Structure 1
Amino acid sequence: MAHGQRQVHVDRSARGGRRHRPGPARTTPSARDGVTAADDDRGAPEFDARAVPFALIAWAVVGFALAVDPRPVLVVVAAVAVCGALAGLVEGLRAHALRVVAVALFGVAVAVGALVRVDAVREHPAAELATRGAHVEIDAVVTSDPRRTGGGVFQVIGADLRVVRHHDAEVRGRGAIVVTSSDRGWADVGPGTVVRFDASLAAATRPDLTVAAARAPDAPRILAPPPWHHRAATALRERFAEACAAGLSADPAGLLPGLVVGDTSHLSVRVQRDFTAAGLSHLTAVSGANVSIVLGAVLLLVRVLGVPPRLGAVAAGIVLCAFVFVARPDPSVLRAAAMGAILLLALVVGRRRQALPALAVSVTALVIVRPELATSWGFALSVVATAGLIVVVPRCVERLRERGWPRALAEAVVVAVVAGVVTAPLIAAMSGTVSLVSMLANLLVAPVIAAVTIVGAITAVVAAVDVGAARYPAALAEYPLRWVVAVAEQAAVTKGAVLQVPTGLAGGLWTVAGLVATGAIVWWLLRAVFGVGVSGGVGGAWQDRVCEFSFLRAAPGIGTGIRHVGIRQRSSRAGRRRASRRARGLPRDRWGRRQREPGSGSRGDPGDPHAGR
């Protein structure tokens, strides 16, 4: 090509009806875009939401099938598929109709699978005995750790049914049951143990695949110990708890295992009650943060050792499976582990790693493989909170960063607010309470949670080798854990900290209405107090600013003053120049503001005729 000639690239995708904004074409990302070649996926949207409809339809279909009846769901989804197919005959609706048909047909397949599973539970012999309140002898495999209810009197565990004996009849068949007992002998029974016990059956009240509820008056008889992997996981949990007890005082010693592996068996009832009232109970449920720490540590180690990335991803996957056994496969653990596994798979095959598709695929797979998760409050809270962190938090953090907030402060504030807002309706529907101090409490403990979790993970690894040596890293978390306990205690005793609302759908709707009303009042007060006026008139172009409050620029600075006030800011030449600087990826100054290029028309520069206006 001759010198000075311009190479022209023709974008043939425009023939498909796409409209492109005018401007210089970009063929490869640059370093200032913050995108590397490995992560680049040209043409991909910021959030790839193609898998989201499939996750929503699978979750809705399975949840409704378990809670009500799968047959109406099957009819409705099939009708939608037929309507979509008929709409596909119309030329202008063909592309959209194909998407609707694909999602609806997927929903039909999921509904059929749910129908088969629900019918199998309803026709189980133990379900028929439960309706009569029969007294039976049961052989079962324990599937969960005992947990205290009603002031610690009852032990509630999950079990997988194997054999039911009633009088002289013996019925074999697998099914999930829930066992309650006041006998202390159940407290030492761990997952994987094969037990035999006498019980009276009752109909299951949970909207899941539970066959029956069993009330056992006596301790179980052990038929077989747990397999080796369950024994190893239980031993690690016990050694970790022993190291915490040796290196920490009472309340921190019970809290650290809960933060790291979700073990709340050593946490006092008072602390549990305070955490619930303060809206901090989610800290003792293993979630994505724990999985991120585990996977991040493994991937960092294999990189230091020079292991190839794909082998490192395989090693991280093995460690992830071991972590699931140690933390127990609770709903939040399964969600986080599924997302981690999908992201590791993307690393192995060399695909772009995106959180939203990973979440959608995880939800779809989990509700199909384990339908009972579709009606689990813990699973719903985990998914909703994760979706809020993926979709909302990055945008709001970037807005605050543009106004000079330090990244750590912006992330702490936004995460606490977003997590509290998106989960409040579910918590209200589940428990009938709304914590008015949860956002503040989460914001106060956020600076220490990550460090405490890392220290706890190190303690657990050391405890696997030497319990005596593990007490020393555990002691480092003493005062941070005391701070967390103190925040929960003060939040719980605050007068009016908990608001009572109806349970179920009514409570969730009331909470949503309250959040909307609160947001509107805050918005109106900001306009009134800070003098946000309405100007413009006919032809005035307005730029909506979501999650943007310009007066917050002054918060992290000292003596900077309130420079700008505005929730909706009219588009101006200065605003367009700032947007241009963001698009060109210009560096930021110490306050997070975009720097100007030399001679670009800063205030007082005679090269810009509009400077200073």
Structure 2
Amino acid sequence: MLARSDLRLAPAAAALWALAGVGVHGGGPMLLAVLAAAVSIVLLVGILTGGGGMARTLGAHLGLVLIGSVLLVPAALRHETAVTTLQDAAAQGLVLEVDVEILGDPEVPDSGPAWARGGSQVLGRTVPGPARIGRTAASVGELRVLIRAEGPVAEEVAGLRIGDRVRLRGTVRAAGDLVVLLPSRLTAAETDQDWRIVPRDRAREATAHLPVDEAALIRGMTTGDTQGLSPRAEDAMRRAGISHLVAVSGANIALVLAAVLVPLLLLGIGRRVRIVLAAAVCGGYVLLVGPEPSVLRAATMAAPLLLARFVGVRASPVAALALTVALWASLDPVTASSAGFVLSALATAAILILAPPLARALASMSRGRVGERAALVLAVPLVAQAACTPVLVLLTPEVSVWAVAVNMAVAPIVAPSTVLGMVALLLAVISPALAAPVYDIAAGGAHLVLLTALTADALPGARIPVPEGAAGALGAVVLMTLGAAALAARRRRLVRFALVAVLVAALAPPLATRLPGGRDQVWIVAACAVGQGDAVLLRPADAATTILIDTGPDPRALAACLDLLGVRRIDLLVLTHPHADHVGGTAALTGTRTPARQWTCPLEEASIGITDAVAAEPVTIGAAWSGPGLDVEVLWPPDAATARSAAAREDGGGEGDAANDCSVVIAATWADGTRYLGLGDLEPVAQRMFAALAPARADIVKIAHHGSARQHAPLYEQLSPQVVLVTAGQENSFGHPTRRALEIARGQTPHVGRTDVHGTVLVPPGDITALRAVGAAR
């Protein structure tokens, strides 16, 4: 029989964890209000029950919560102060000087406007201590930030390594919860990081001969270094439910401990020596890979278990997990409420608490043909995925029916590949040539993992859209609860039929898009999922003509969308403005897809990204095009000078504002009167100037600038759309679409289609609010 769990500490730990989330995301006043409410409820229960057993139990848990809150509340308030300080600096456009510690490896953004694509970015955290904001000396707390640089400073950022500390001078941008530092100068502090950098560099050298994705995955599984992993592979793994493999996670701690303890046990080394050596190696590994939240959770949880084993007593893993959660929630609520920590802790709790009873149920369902321990093979990934799904929905509102199956399929591959990767890492420190053959073997497992993820990603049901935000998370909780109830009532025939019906309903829509004729859906507007960029198709219902507005950042992504929708010719190409995320895919327009005409904005630099196969026509207000069933008119810009004038008055923009404010705004009208309006990347000043021209209302609006926070809300009220389209890339580094942009859109209509969530969004003729999605989100 499988052991039962010790849950005595769990309620207090869960309460502290919830308070940490409230403090970080809701602020200090809300935290204090929730804490006061909890105390009041416990006191009320005590009064009503006359101090009975329930009241004593609640009182004991409340006492633990209050002890933890003595540390939690100040930590949450310090975080709030740090966020407010930088947000105020961003709002006032002040220059700041602050010390920052680098937490990851620099990367080049693979999407966004041209000025950003040439820069570098890296994740860091502010170092608590003195800083300067504007002309005022200040003090900042610890806060995770994204450092994004362009121009000469980008080269300095690209040279930073994990663990480095730098003095940064620059400006701040705040987009919701994301704080971005834009440095104009970096002063590197003296740091001794060779012990951390050398293993990573040697590992890269030893894997240089391998295919890029396999090399990045095997390094990511061992040290968290995923440099070089393609967006295609990363997206496929995320949708398949195995994104935790591309970074160091809590499972690595278990593998490290096993890799040390098992050989020492076989060699006959004493228990206490084994435990001390294992703890030392585990601590060194944590220092090597850096402060990943899931690693910190696993290492902290391992400490009391190892200590108990050292003194010769048996400890409960559930109690160790509860203690870990309580400690991190009290001491560092930011880490405790981070996605990595939350997912890791939820998965671990589900495995420890829910997997045993589920395994017993599965064994019972098999009528003895499968034992409880064998049933754990299915129960473990099933409960882990179920526990994490509500949080995953908050991050990306979609689910896959194949996530559990994929995790089961790769589980026998991951552990040996990761252990081999760790052995190779040790050998690489001595000699990369010596490590290369071991990495070759480990890369074979990585290849199978990637193949499994890519295969699953191509199956129907791999990407089922769900409601965004709290509604989607709550819906996931309800479904998981219903699933548990259905399992309990599994012997009822009606329940079995209901489960089959739910599965068919989930698989039927995505399967339909892959059947013959599934691509030939009738649509009048299609927002292509091309990553962080724009590519919007317009055509009448009979597909007599086709207009393409922008080409996105990547020719392959555009070609994939055109193939998916069966688009064979382009009658008019509109390149709204010369930024790479709008004109980077033009090379896909060859052969029968070579456009008959091509419009550009009136800036001199608008020749960037055009197709040479047809003359470029700079257009301004009044330019028009007519085809069967579809008329197009240019509503902006009046001329290049007006665009430059608007850009000069933009507050807090960037050097790309002139091109953004020159965006060609297209109004398209169908024979039935349906009207589309695309706002390109207009910035707020240009949006206000455009609104002053009194454009007529539009049924369908493509939101400006991928849903950035820089929106002029009255313009959308004036347009009063029934449908809003948001063209943004999945998990893009700009934080698009922002909460403010989505609030503006949803203030006009509940029908918001997002390419970063839903994939390629189709607007049908007639009932334009009946949006459909095909293909994968990017």
TM-score between the two structures when normalised by the length of structure 1: 0.71
Aligned to 1:137, the other structure's residue is in SS state strand
Deviation per residue, 1:76-133 (Å, 9 max, x gap): 4345446645765788643332221222233334444333234334555555434412
Deviates more, 1:106-115 or 1:502-511: 106-115
Pairwise CA distance, 1:168: 4.8
User: Higher relative contact order by CA 8 Å / sep ≥ 6: 1 or 2?
Assistant: 1
Closer/same/farther in 2, CA of residues 525 and 122 from structure 1, 3 Å limit: closer
Aligned to 2:437: 472
Residue-by-residue CA offset, 1:7-57 (whole Å, 9 max, x unaligned) = xxxxxxxxxxxxxxxxxxxxxxxxxx89xxxxxxxxxx9311111012111
Percent identical pairs in the alignment equals 29
- The Cα of 1:333 is off from its aligned counterpart by 0.8
Instruction: Indicate conservation of the 8 Å contact 1:179/1:216, yes or no.
Output: no
Q: Find 1:389's aligned residue among 351, 357, 362.
A: 351
Q: In the alignment, what sits opposite 1:223? A: 189
Relative to structure 1, the CA distance from residue 473 to residue 120 in structure 2 (aligned partners, 3 Å threshold; closer, same or farther) is closer
Mapped to 1, the partners of 2:77 and 2:316 lie a distance apart of: 37
For residues 406 and 461 of structure 1, the distance between their equivalents in structure 2, rounded to whole angstroms, comes to: 39
Question: 2: distance between equivalents of 1:179 and 1:200?
Answer: 12
- Aligned with residue 352 of structure 1, among 300, 314, 319: 314
Kindly indicate whether residue 239 of structure 2 is the aligned counterpart of residue 239 of structure 1.
Answer: no
Give the SS at the match of 1:141.
strand
SS of the residue 1:347 aligns to: helix
For the structure 1 residues 49 and 517, does the alpha-carbon distance in structure 2 shift closer, same or farther, using more than 3 Å as the test? closer
2:22–2:30: 8 Å Cα contact kept in structure 1? no
Provide closer, same or farther for how the CA distance between residues 352 and 65 of structure 1 changes in structure 2, counting only shifts above 3 A: same
Question: Which of 124, 131, 135 does residue 164 from structure 1 map onto?
Answer: 131
Q: CA–CA distance in 2 between the matches of 1:524 and 1:357?
A: 31
Structure 2 CA distance for aligned equivalents of residues 331 and 364 of structure 1 = 14
Deviation at 1:529, TM superposition (A): 9.7
Q: Which residue of 2 aligns with 1:137?
A: 97
Paired residues of 1:137 and 1:164 also in contact (CA < 8 A): yes
Q: Normalization by structure 2: what TM-score?
A: 0.57
SS at match of 1:196: strand
Give the drift of 1:197: 3.1
Residues 1:187 and 2:158 aligned together: yes
| Contact 1:145 1:190 (8 Å CA) reproduced | yes
Distance 1:267 1:74 in 2: 43
- Measured at CA, do residues 191 and 512 of structure 1 come closer, stay the same or move farther in structure 2, by a change above 3 Å? same
**1:278-306 Cα shifts (integer Å, max 9, x gaps):** 11102223333211121122223433454
State the Cα distance separating 1:407 from its structure 2 match.
Answer: 7.2
User: CA shift at 1:455, angstroms?
Assistant: 1.4
- Secondary structure at the residue paired with 1:476? helix
Alpha-carbon contact 1:136-1:199 (below 8 Å) kept:
yes
Contact 2:131 2:138 in 1 (8 A): yes
Alignment of 1:173-572 (within 5 A): 173-182=140-149, 183-203=154-174, 205-206=176-177, 213-216=180-183, 220-224=186-190, 226-227=191-192, 230-246=193-209, 248-400=210-362, 403-405=368-370, 410-515=375-480, 527-528=492-493
Equivalences, count: 481
SS at match of 1:159: strand
Cα-to-partner distance string for 1:484-519 (whole Å, 9 max, x where unaligned): 111111222224420112222111122234445567
The 3 A distance-change label for structure 1 pair 123 and 321 is same
Distance 2:245 2:229 in 1: 13
State the Cα distance separating 1:275 from its structure 2 match. Answer: 0.8
The CA deviation at 1:316 is 1.5
Which residue identity lines up with residue 137 of structure 1 in the other structure? E
C-alpha deviation, 1:396, in angstroms: 3.1
The one-letter code sitting in structure 2 at the alignment partner of 1:156 is: V
The 1:65/1:171 distance shift into structure 2, 3 A limit, reads closer
How much has 1:251 moved relative to structure 2?
Answer: 2.2
Question: How far apart, CA to CA, are the structure 2 residues paired with 1:531 and 1:444?
Answer: 25
Relative to structure 1, the CA distance from residue 490 to residue 217 in structure 2 (aligned partners, 3 Å threshold; closer, same or farther) is farther
SS in 2 for 1:48: coil
Aligned to 2:737: none
Amino acid at match of 2:72: A
Correspondence for 1:3: none
- Give the CA deviation at 1:65: 1.5
- What amino acid is the match of 2:4? E
> For each residue in 1:133-177, what CA deviation from the matched residue of structure 2 results, as whole angstroms up to 9, or x when unmatched?
212333333344435655494513112245433555444554325
| Counterpart selection for 1:77 from 15, 35, 45 | 35
Q: Which amino acid aligns with 1:70?
A: G
**SS at 2:143 equivalent:** strand
How far off its partner does 1:335 sit?
0.9
Match of 1:60 among 18, 23, 32: 18
Q: Which amino acid aligns with 2:292?
A: D
Q: CA, structure 1 residues 448+61, in 2 after alignment: closer, same or farther (shift >3 Å)?
A: same
Query: Is the Cα contact below 8 Å between 2:24 and 2:80 reproduced in 1?
Result: no
For structure 1, list consecutive stretches of 5 or more residues without a partner in the other structure: 1-32, 35-44, 533-613
- Counterpart of 1:101, as a letter, is G
Tell me how far apart the structure 2 counterparts of residues 122 and 527 of structure 1 sit (CA, whole Å). 52
Report if the CA contact (8 A) 1:397-1:411 is conserved.
yes
CA 80–417 in structure 1, closer or farther in 2 if over 3 Å, else same: closer
Sort the Cα spacing of 1:216 and 1:362 in 2 relative to 1 into closer, same or farther, 3 A.
same
TM-superposed deviation, 1:342: 1.7
CA distance in 1, matches of 2:134, 2:489: 71
Residues 477 and 84 of structure 1: CA distance in aligned 2, closer, same or farther (over 3 Å): closer
Corresponding residue for residue 42 of structure 1 = none
Give, in whole Å, the separation in 2 of the partners of 1:190 and 1:215: 18
CA deviation map 1:399-431 (0-9, x unaligned):
555722267853332222222222222211221
Report SS of the residue matched to 1:477: helix
Structure 1 residues 289, 83: closer, same or farther in 2, change over 3 A?
closer
Question: 1:62-81, CA deviations, whole angstroms, 9 ceiling, x for partnerless residues?
Answer: 21122113344435434544
Where structure 2 has 5 or more consecutive residues not aligned to the other structure, the ranges are 498-778
Q: In structure 2, how many angstroms separate the alpha carbons of the residues matched to 1:120 and 1:497?
A: 41
| Distance in structure 1 (CA, Å) of the matches to 2:146 and 2:493 | 58
Residues 78 and 104, structure 1, Cα contact 8 Å, conserved in 2: no
How far residue 354 of structure 1 moved from its aligned partner, in angstroms, is 1.7
In 2, Cα distance between the equivalents of 1:515 and 1:121? 33
Q: Distance in 1 between matches of 2:399 and 2:207?
A: 32
Distance 1:530 1:130 in 2: 55
Cα 1:479–1:120 shift into 2, 3 Å: closer
The answer as to whether partners of 2:381 and 2:404 remain within 8 angstroms in 1 is yes
Range 404-413 or range 277-286, more displaced = 404-413
Provide the C-alpha distance between the structure 2 equivalents of 1:309 and 1:73, rounded to a whole number of angstroms: 45
The residue identity in structure 2 corresponding to 1:350 is G
